[in-house]
Structure 1
Amino acid sequence: MYTLFRITLFLVLCPAVLFSQEFDFGKIKSEDFEIDLSSIEDTTAEAVIIKEYAEVNYIYNEQRGFEIVTVTHVLKKILKTTGLEHGDVTIPILIGPSRSKSETVYRVHAMTHNLEKGKVEHTELGKKDIFREELSERVNLLKFSLPEVRIGSIVEYQYTRQTPVNVYNKPRTWYFQHDIPCLWSEIDLVIPSFFTYHTILSGYIPLEKQESKEISYSLPGANMRVNAWHQQFAVKNAPAFKEEPYITTTEDYISKIEFDLSTFRLPNEAEKNFNLTWEDLNKTLIESETWGSKLDRANNFLKDEVQPFLAIEEPMARVEAIYDYLTRTYMWNQEAGLWFNRNLKDIASSQRGSASELNVLATVFFRKCGIEANPAILSTRSHGKINQMFPLLDKFNYTVALVQVNDTKIPIDITEPLLPLTLLPLRCRNGAIFEVTKNGGNFIDLDESAKYHNFEKLEIEIDPTSEKVSGIYEGHKKDYAALKNRKVLHEVGENEFASEIKKLKSDWEVENFEVHNSNDKNESLDIGYEFSWDAPEYNADLIYVSPFLFLQWKDNPFKRRERAFPVDIGYTLFDGTSVTFKTPEGYEIEEVPENANVVLPNKGGRFRYSIAKMNGGVTVNFQCILNKPIYHSQEYPYLKELYSRIIEKQSEMIVFKKKGK
């Protein structure tokens, strides 16, 4: 027999006692309700997974070929009213053009266990309470709700999924971590040596068990003994995965195991190789009718359209002019995805398309204008990060154009008309991009200096006599900060934009509202207005004023004591504010906050807070600077402390005292 199985792991196999956490269905005793939850350290948990176990085997059927049979068994305890929803179960089923090319789910058993006066009562789910729902042409949902579920219940369910390999050729991803804590999660696989898989572990929780050994067993349906690999992976006491600020997508951080088919080989037959090298992936894209082959066609429909740009001699000026034209002319339909069927002439004619359609068209346009350009593929932040160890096409979902001017390569996306040429949309800032060329592809690192730049200046005057506060606001926004505001301005117009500011400050009167450079994406977006409001509380012997009463950050985005995964902001940041208070007539400065300066290690950033007294007033300067788009988990405590100091300083007051008091 052939023993070709290869496993690629990020962890080293360690000797351990081989044991299974498989458990019998329905065998719940009164002592099983006494669960020690101290190990999960989560008082907010609404439910807990006591055990979950998947057993994966392969069978052979003459009509359906090889099939993957997975038996899943789950045991949960409901801890709070909000956890009652964990008694609802949904199982997705893949549907093909025929029964032999569709998944089946059967042997569904479900039961609720309740402890009543020391006795366990079991309530079984009826077959009539299991429903099937069509989600799409390709996916159905099997749904059921367990009966008699209440706080303290243990819910249990088990089902068998049978998947033809010609429908889905690998074991499904197994998640060790969920939105509630899990005390034990295990997957147990027996994989015949006909199949070899890359096995990809991800997440930040160490395995409690990891075993792999070669065995010989009788393959069901094939009437023969085969060599196989028996593998077990388990995690103990996995905390609930909770969304945190500044992450890409849950899939990049949650603890799970994935499988990707590498080779398939039957005795006396040639091996089918599903492995891709990056060179293979590049070749597949170049030759694809739904992608790269469109680049090499004559595309003469662009002949007249490119003529004006050929007259621009300086290459960078030509690139900028083309970019401005393309972003004005073509509209993104909000769709991502790598592949597309429409030809470029139809896309150009409609002036509308997906990101890949528009940016492949842009690549051709640049080439027609004499600019060296290639397409590049990436995975957006919501789609997940690319692991460069594994050339997997389905991990990519977006195309951009990559132009070269002199020795500089510039990634360009024409879907955001309000962004400068040198900035990709934030959704695209998710690690390196892969350039596709006839001579072989390669990864290109993105510039890490892309910035969110915001500076605000206020001059404020307090008049205790008229019990009014008045002042002037100036805002200067660049790059991603400008994009956010330009989008709103273009959607609603200046008048409505001003109205929105008034709504945020309902007690303000806003006058002389001005916006400059709303259409010039290469310049700072400048916003200015005058404001005033009634403030009877300022007619007192002591006037307490928060310098950031108007622009205060509400709270620290980093609330957890520690964080296992990186803080991925996506850009560097400069956020600055300067607030000048004119000393009210008849008053003097009594007290001001102390200066502060918090510096992150390794020049990672800083928070600077300084106050300067001057004739007739006081000026407060605030700066938050983050020099890195990504901070690793070891840097998290320092980042959290920096934000804590910001919140602390913003609560401090300037005190003006009436003279003679």
Structure 2
Amino acid sequence: MRLFFLLLLLFNVLGAISQDPNYSSLLLDGSLTRNADAVIRQDEMVVDLLSQKSMVIKRKKVVTVLNESGDKYAVAFVGYDNGRRVKNIEARVYNAAGDQIERIREKNFKDVSAVDGGTLYSDSRVKYYPYTPINYPYTLEFTYEVSTKNTGELPASWQFLEDFRVSTENSSIKINFATPDLKPLTKEINLEGVEIFKEENNNSILFQAKNVEAIKEEGMCPSFFKLVPQIRIRPVNFHYEGYDATINDWNDLGVWMSDNLLRGRDELPVATVSKVKKLVDGVEDDLEKAKIIYKYVQENTRYISVQVGIGGMRPISAIDVDRVKYGDCKGLSNYTKALLKAVGVEAYYVHVEAGREQVDFDEEFADLAQGNHVILAIPYKGRYYWIDCTSSVHPFGFVGDFTDNRKAFVIKPDGGEIVSTPAYLDEQNYQLTKASYRLQVDGSIEGDVRIDTYGIQYDDRFTLAERSDDKVKEHYKDYWNYVNNLTIGSYRFENDQDQVHFTEHLSVDAAHYASKSGDRLIFAANAFNKYGFVPVRYRNRRLPFEIQRGFMDEDEITIGIPEGYAIEAMPESISIENKYGRYDLAFELLDGSIRLKRKLLVKSGMYPNTEYDRFRDFLKNVSKYDNAKVVVKPML
């Protein structure tokens, strides 16, 4: 009882001296700190759509950081440019008790370019303050106001959680619209289990949520974007970069972008047009012309990283890119499109959400905000060929795992459409390993390996050909990290870009690969393609799991045993097949050698949490059999 009154007195004292007791981290509910590195105490946005050409956004965000891992969520920054004005920017920092310990005024914020490496985007800037914490927990409050004519930049979504391991105490967005035609459309996503307050009337919409617990990330779970509770928002009638728009669907948006943001951006200098026409002189086939132009762009331009939203949605003109020889994804794609047009090849500008996570455009929700990257689609004989103009190394028509298998927005002069990019499915992501090695009496091995890869497995390996000798050898020592004392001898690579096929040839040796037990030698037969990934075990798995890209490996390894030795023990052949894939392992005795044949297929798919243990058991068995040992001993 005495302890209770002492604690009560302590909290009363802390509350009395705090400037804002609501920011005391000591008062946080345990449900919000569980599985959390940070807590969003308050995230409030008010959007005023004053007219089709006037929007004001006011935001206040308060984050309590519980530990070092949460620092990345206590950020004070806002972007602006010539069409986006920022004012009333300020930050305050509070200690664990809720006492204000620092106030950061606008003059203390750093003001830097949003882009490195170029001057074409010089009006895109960021104001930020890099706060360095002294103790944990601490709280950062950040406020600002933005005004713009570009009402098309209405926030595209409002997430009630910021990331895995971040909870939310209070979050709200209110959109006020001066006239009914400015009312945006909204779409509710993943709100099951979240208590949402919604209020809508003739001139405003409000969404609010309180006490949303953090989601703990689990291995192989879907991306946070697919799980986060959110409201998607899009304007129907808006203004952007000098143009009014009324958008009801993707077709409307395609026409509007073609007529306004892309029109006139494809003009080229006469000298450049003449140059590229000479490059394709005598070539009749449009696809062959496109390959020549793509190679020209790869060899004569460089990419600078700029997000789609920075510098606006409109690409830099082809004339400017031709002059400086660099650009972001928008600029390089538009430039390549212009070069293709100059030689009579049609190509379409494409918005896509790029990254290893496959994220689709929402077919029923047409807006400017979806997508973070631009590529091109070239129509040819009833299908599209896709090229990423920011890559200086990828083969023509191969997009790799950066933009594969997702719905993207293809912008054509007569309208827009949602189209799926190429999918590299399961068996198409193929690796074939053929190897032979000889086991020596001292337990060492020496041999030759050939690895052929296709699909996404090609994408993972073809850049080996561009690496230094040290980096190549470092790669193989990491790839075969279960082989101690590995030495890489000679190696060479073949990169067939037409067939998207990469081949590795190398010689290797390793001392003490086999362990000795008396006069016996014990070793794992599969020296060159063990599957070592076993998913983490969970006592109470909560989230579904996803295999975004399946693959198939086939291996054929011939093992020579020392002269005068015989096989004492060898693993039995095994076959396992289920909904997640298939595993086959077989051994064959030859004259003085062993032949191992192996096949592993892992299928892509989304699976419920209740199946996780079965999938994990499948891969555990694969790992176990891949490590199966052979025992040889001298013949009597």
- Same fold? TM cut 0.5: yes
1:541 aligns with 2:519: yes
Residue in 1 that maps onto 2:431: 454
Cα distance, 1:323 vs structure 2: 5.7
Q: Matches of 1:57 and 1:210 in 2, distance apart?
A: 17
| Superimposed CA distance per residue, residues 581-622 of structure 1 (whole angstroms, 9 cap, x where no aligned partner) | 223333332323343333342xx6423333333342322223
Q: Matches of 2:167 and 2:85 in 1, distance apart?
A: 34
TM-score (norm 2): 0.75
Residue in 2 that maps onto 1:118: none
Cα distance, 1:276 vs structure 2: 5.3
Residue in 1 that maps onto 2:265: 294
3-state secondary structure, aligned to 1:284 = helix
Q: Matches of 2:209 and 2:355 in 1, distance apart?
A: 28
> What amino acid is the match of 1:209?
E
Aligned length: 584
> What amino acid is the match of 2:337?
T
Equivalent residues in 2 for 1:238-277 (5 A)?
A: 238-241=214-217, 250-251=224-225, 253-262=227-236, 275=247, 277=249
Residue in 1 that maps onto 2:110: 134
Assess if the C-alpha contact under 8 Å between 1:515 and 1:525 holds in 2.
no
Equivalent residues in 2 for 1:631-650 (5 A)?
A: 631-633=606-608, 639-650=615-626
Equivalent residues in 2 for 1:147-546 (5 A)?
A: 149=135, 161-164=144-147, 170=154, 173-182=158-167, 184-187=169-172, 189=174, 191=176, 194=179, 196-202=183-189, 206-214=192-200, 228-234=204-210, 236-241=212-217, 250-251=224-225, 253-262=227-236, 275=247, 277-288=249-260, 291-295=262-266, 301-303=272-274, 305-307=276-278, 309=280, 311-313=282-284, 318-319=288-289, 322=292, 325-326=295-296, 329-335=299-305, 337=307, 342-345=316-319, 347-348=321-322, 352-381=326-355, 385-416=360-391, 418-429=393-404, 431-449=406-424, 451-464=428-441, 466-492=442-468, 497=472, 501=476, 507-511=485-489, 513-518=490-495, 520-522=497-499, 524-535=501-512, 537-538=515-516, 540-546=518-524
Q: Matches of 1:29 and 1:374 in 2, distance apart?
A: 54
Residue in 2 that maps onto 1:592: 570
Q: Matches of 2:393 and 2:99 in 1, distance apart?
A: 59
Cα distance, 1:29 vs structure 2: 10
| Superimposed CA distance per residue, residues 542-600 of structure 1 (whole angstroms, 9 cap, x where no aligned partner) | 3221123444344335666647466364x542223222222333333232334333334
Residue in 2 that maps onto 1:8: none
CA change 1:344–1:608 in 2 (3 A) is same
Cα distance, 1:257 vs structure 2: 3.7
> What amino acid is the match of 1:287?
D
CA change 1:528–1:440 in 2 (3 A) is same
Q: Matches of 2:320 and 2:146 in 1, distance apart?
A: 39
Cα distance, 1:57 vs structure 2: 5.1
Cα distance, 1:437 vs structure 2: 1.9
> What amino acid is the match of 2:355?
R
Cα distance, 1:255 vs structure 2: 3.7
1:580 aligns with 2:576: no
> What amino acid is the match of 1:362?
T
| Superimposed CA distance per residue, residues 305-334 of structure 1 (whole angstroms, 9 cap, x where no aligned partner) | 335635345555x35753674366434424
CA change 1:239–1:610 in 2 (3 A) is same
Assess if the C-alpha contact under 8 Å between 2:361 and 2:418 holds in 1.
no
> What amino acid is the match of 1:578?
E
3-state secondary structure, aligned to 2:127 = strand
TM-score (norm 1): 0.72
Alignment counterpart, residue 41 of structure 2, candidates 42, 47, 52: 52
CA change 1:594–1:200 in 2 (3 A) is farther
Assess if the C-alpha contact under 8 Å between 1:563 and 1:636 holds in 2.
no
Q: Matches of 1:30 and 1:486 in 2, distance apart?
A: 50
Cα distance, 1:209 vs structure 2: 1.4
Q: Matches of 1:425 and 1:104 in 2, distance apart?
A: 44
Assess if the C-alpha contact under 8 Å between 2:48 and 2:55 holds in 1.
yes
Residue in 2 that maps onto 1:124: 99
Cα distance, 1:428 vs structure 2: 1.9
Alignment counterpart, residue 88 of structure 2, candidates 104, 108, 118: 104
Unpaired runs of at least 5, structure 2: 1-18, 114-124
Cα distance, 1:300 vs structure 2: 7.3
| Superimposed CA distance per residue, residues 102-161 of structure 1 (whole angstroms, 9 cap, x where no aligned partner) | 232569573523xxxxxxxxx6123557893215364333566788x55xx6x5666655
> What amino acid is the match of 1:103?
K
Q: Matches of 1:394 and 1:364 in 2, distance apart?
A: 24
> What amino acid is the match of 1:530?
S
1:567 aligns with 2:546: yes
| Superimposed CA distance per residue, residues 482-534 of structure 1 (whole angstroms, 9 cap, x where no aligned partner) | 444432322436x87458647977834444x2425246553643322333333
Q: What percentage of aligned pairs have identical amino acids?
A: 10
Assess if the C-alpha contact under 8 Å between 1:545 and 1:654 holds in 2.
yes
Q: Matches of 1:29 and 1:376 in 2, distance apart?
A: 48
Cα distance, 1:238 vs structure 2: 2.9
Residue in 2 that maps onto 1:116: none
3-state secondary structure, aligned to 2:277 = helix
CA change 1:498–1:185 in 2 (3 A) is same
Q: Matches of 1:658 and 1:359 in 2, distance apart?
A: 66
RMSD: 4.6
CA change 1:331–1:563 in 2 (3 A) is farther
Residue in 1 that maps onto 2:118: none
Cα distance, 1:445 vs structure 2: 1.8
Unpaired runs of at least 5, structure 1: 1-23, 114-122, 216-225, 266-271
Q: Greater Rg, structure 1 or structure 2?
A: 1
3-state secondary structure, aligned to 1:580 = strand
Assess if the C-alpha contact under 8 Å between 1:177 and 1:240 holds in 2.
no
Assess if the C-alpha contact under 8 Å between 1:366 and 1:373 holds in 2.
yes
